[in-house]
Amino acid sequence: MKKLMFVLAALLLCGAAFANDPFSSKDTSKFGVGLMIMNPTDSLTKQSGSSWLGFDISYHLKFDSADRPTRSINLGYIGGDKDRDLTGIDAKASFMPITYSFTKYSKDSGNGFYYGAEAGFAYAKMKAKPALGGSWRSDSGFVPILAATVGYNFSTYYYAAFKYYFPFSGLNLPVYGDADFDGWCITLGTNYTF
C-alpha cells in the first residue's frame, strides 16, 4: 500500500510538468503534491530507518495577488521500515500529518523564497521487536503538531521546501519507552491545475 501511494504521488508530480502554467491565468492551482524525505531525530523512532519516504498533498484555500497559495490544508504520509542485524531491533513506523498551513513570500510576485508555519494533528504508529525474535511491541495514536517551513519556488511549477515537525507528544512502546516523531523533511513538489 505504501509503495502504491508513493508511485501515485510520483506520477502526479511528473505529470504536473505537462499541465498549464498554474499562475498565468485566473485558474489558480487548487492542489499541490510533493515527494518527501524525512529524517526523524528521536533515537527510538530512527530505529525504523534514518530516511523515511512519503508524500504530501495540499488543497489551497487562499491565494495572494500573484495567485500563489497562502493558506492550505495538507495531508501527508511518511514511513520507515528497517530490519536490523543481530544486535538491534526490527522497527516499523509511520506518520500521517494533517495540518493547516500559512505561507508568506519574500517577493510580491514571481519565484523566490517563502516561509510558513503549520498546525494540526498527526496519526503516528510504531512497532518494534528484538532482531533475534520475540513479540512486536506497538503503540499508535493522534499527536498534536506544529511545523516550520522554509522553501523556494524554482518556477511556476516546482518548489523545494525544508520543514521541521514539532509534535507535542509521542508514543510509548512497552519495553522500549517513548518514541517521538519530531524530525526534518525535504520536499520536492509542484502546484498545478486540473
Contact 192, 65 (CB under 8 A): no
DSSP-based three-state secondary structure for 182: coil
Q: Does domain 2-16+34-192 have CATH number 1.10.10.10?
A: no
- Name the burial class of residue 163, with classes exposed (0-12), middle (13-18) and buried (19+) by CB atoms within 10 angstroms of its CB: buried
Q: What is the pLDDT of residue 63?
A: 87
pTM of the shown model: 0.77
Which whole-number Å values give the CA distances from 110 to 31, 66, 106, 152, 154, in the listed order? Answer: 19, 7, 10, 11, 9
What proportion of the chain, given as a percentage, has pLDDT over 90? 36
Q: What is the pLDDT of residue 53?
A: 92
pLDDT digits (tens, 9 = 90+) for 89-144: 788 888 899 999 999 999 877 788 999 999 999 998 988 888 777 788 888 889 99
The count of residues in the chain is: 194
pLDDT digits (tens, 9 = 90+) for 5-31: 454 455 444 444 444 444 444 556 788
Cell numbers linked to 125 = 504508529
Q: Name the residue among 52, 18, 48 with its Cα closest to residue 35.
A: 52
Helix (H) or strand (E) holding 111: none
